[in-house]
Amino acid sequence: MEPIDIGLVVTGMLLVLVLIGTRVAFAAAIAGVVGLVWIFWAKKGYDPEQFMWALTVATKTAGQVPHSKVTSQALSLIPTFILIGYLAYYAGLTKALFTAAKRWVGWLPGGLGVATVFATAGFAAVSGASVATSAVFARIAIPEMLEVGYDKRFAAGVVAAAGTLASLIPPSAILVIYAIIVEQDVGALLLAGFIPGAFSALIYGGMVIGMALVWKKLGPPVSGFTWRQRFEALPGALPIFAVVVIILFFVYNPFGGDAWGTPTEGGALGAFVVFCIAVWRGMRWSQLKDALLETAKLSVMIFTIIWGVLIYVRFLGFADLPGAFSDWITSLQQPPMMTLLLILLAYAVLGMFMDAIGMLLLTLPIVYPAVIALNGGEGVAAADSAFGMSATGCAIWFGIIVVKMAELCLITPPIGLNCFVVAGVRPDLSVQDVFRGTSPFFVADALTIAGLVMWPAIVLYLPGLLLGL
C-alpha cells in the first residue's frame, strides 16, 4: 500500500474516533502513531521481524514532536492572553464594560442584547478565549436581560454567539495557533483580526435589533438613563481600552521604526497591566488564585490538543497527503472561488462534530497548502493571483475567514462548546434552549463570512497600513 493510501485510511480512522466521542487530542495522537508505525513497517515490506523496529522509530518520531513544536515562543502568547481575560473579569472590568454599554445603547430595540454584543467585543480585546468570554457574560448579562422580560432563549443565544468574537478579535488564541501551523507572522494575523471582529460585532448587533423590531417581546428596550449617568459609566470601562492601546503601541509602534517588543512580550505586559488594575481595584488572593487556576486549566487543554494533533501532522508529512490534496484541488476544472466556497462549506459541516481548535489543527496542514496553491503558489504576485493578493496576503485573509468558520463551530449543534458553557453557568437554561437561541446568528455569521470573502480589504487594510503587507 502506498503512503497516500495509508494516509487516507488513517485519516478515516481518525474521523471515526472523533465521531464515536474520543477526545480530539487522543484521537489524533493515536491515529498519528498508528500511521507512523504503518508507514515505517510498510517500508520494510511488512516483515514481522521488523515490526518492533517500526514501532520504536514511530514512537521516537512521535515523542520528539511535542517538545520541538510546543517550545515555540509564539505559543507562550496563549496563557498570557487567557490570563488577561480572567484577571479583567476578577477586577470587575467586564461588569463595568457591560454597564457602560447598557447605558449608551439600552434604548435601542433589543438594547441589552446589543449592549451584550458590544461589551463582549470590548472584553474580547483583552481575552483570548471564547469559552471564558461566554461564561463571564452568562453570569453578568443574562440575569439583567431576564429581569426586564427578555425571552430566555434569545438572551442565551446572544451571549453564546457574542462570546465567539473572542476567537477573532485579538488577542486570540486560535489566531496564534493558526499562525504557528501555517508559519505566518503572529503579529500580522492578530492585527488583521480587529476590523473583521468589529464588522462581525456590528452584524450581530444589527441582527439583534432586527429581531427585536420584528418580535417585540424578544427584547424590550431599556430607557431612563441620563446623559450624566452615561458619561459616569465610561471611566470604569476605560482600563480595558487602555490595555489594548498599550499592547498595540508596544507591539506595532505606530510612530515608526522597530517594534518595542514581540507579541509574546506584549501579552505579558498586558497581563501585568491588568494585574495591577485588579490589585488596585481590591482583588483578593482567592480571586487571583481562581484566575491562575482557570488560566492553567484552559491552557493545558489547548496545549494537549496541540500535542496530539502535531503527532498526526507529522504522520501526514510522511504520507504526503497535503501535497496530494493540493494537486487535486488545483486540478479541478472550476473557478478557484467556487473551490474555496466548497472548502468553507466543508468546514461548516465538520464543525458540527469537532471543536474549533481541534478542527483547525487537523485540517490546516492539508487545506492551507491547497488554498495557497489555488491562489497561485507561494511566490505569486497579487496581479497574477486567483484571489487578487500575494501569498502572504492570502494566508492572512484565509486565516481570518477560517477562524470565523471556527467561531461558527462554537454555536453549532451537537457539540457547540459555547452553548454548553452558557447552559452550565445557567441551570435554568437547557442546552437545547441555548442552541435554539443561537440559530438566527448562523445567518449573521454567513453574512460576515460573505463580506470577508467579497471584500478582502476588510482583513488586509490594517496589516497593509502598519506592516506594509
Largest CA distance in the chain: 83
Residue the block writes with cell 452584524: 203
How confident is the model at residue 71, as a pLDDT? Answer: 67
- Per DSSP, the chain holds a count of helices (H) and strands (E) of 22, 0
- State the angle between helix axes of 227-252 and 93-105 in degrees (0 to 180), rounded to the nearest 10: 130
Residue 413 pLDDT exceeds 90: no
Higher per-residue confidence, 142 vs 65: 142
Selection from 155, 161, 163 nearest residue 111 by Cα: 155
Distance of CA 35 to the CA centre of its chain: 28
- In angstroms, the CA 74 to CA 234 distance is 34
Retrieve residue 237's grid coordinates: 470601562
Residue 399 pLDDT exceeds 90: yes
What DSSP element (H or E) covers 319?
Answer: helix 285-319
- In angstroms, the CA 279 to CA 176 distance is 28
- Model confidence at 468, pLDDT cuts 50, 70, 90, reads low
Beta strands in 77-137 (DSSP E): none
How large a percentage of the chain has pLDDT more than 70?
95
How large a percentage of the chain has pLDDT more than 90?
17
- In angstroms, the CA 28 to CA 5 distance is 18
Residue 451 pLDDT exceeds 80: yes
Q: What is the DSSP letter of 385?
A: S
Higher per-residue confidence, 176 vs 445: 445
How confident is the model at residue 459, as a pLDDT? Answer: 93
pLDDT winner (highest mean) among 90-99, 153-162, 283-292: 153-162
What is the tens place of the pLDDT at every residue in 276-310? 888 888 888 888 898 889 888 878 887 887 788 78
- Model confidence at 402, pLDDT cuts 50, 70, 90, reads very high
How confident is the model at residue 69, as a pLDDT? Answer: 64
Retrieve residue 44's grid coordinates: 520494510
- Model confidence at 202, pLDDT cuts 50, 70, 90, reads very high
Residue 31 pLDDT exceeds 70: yes
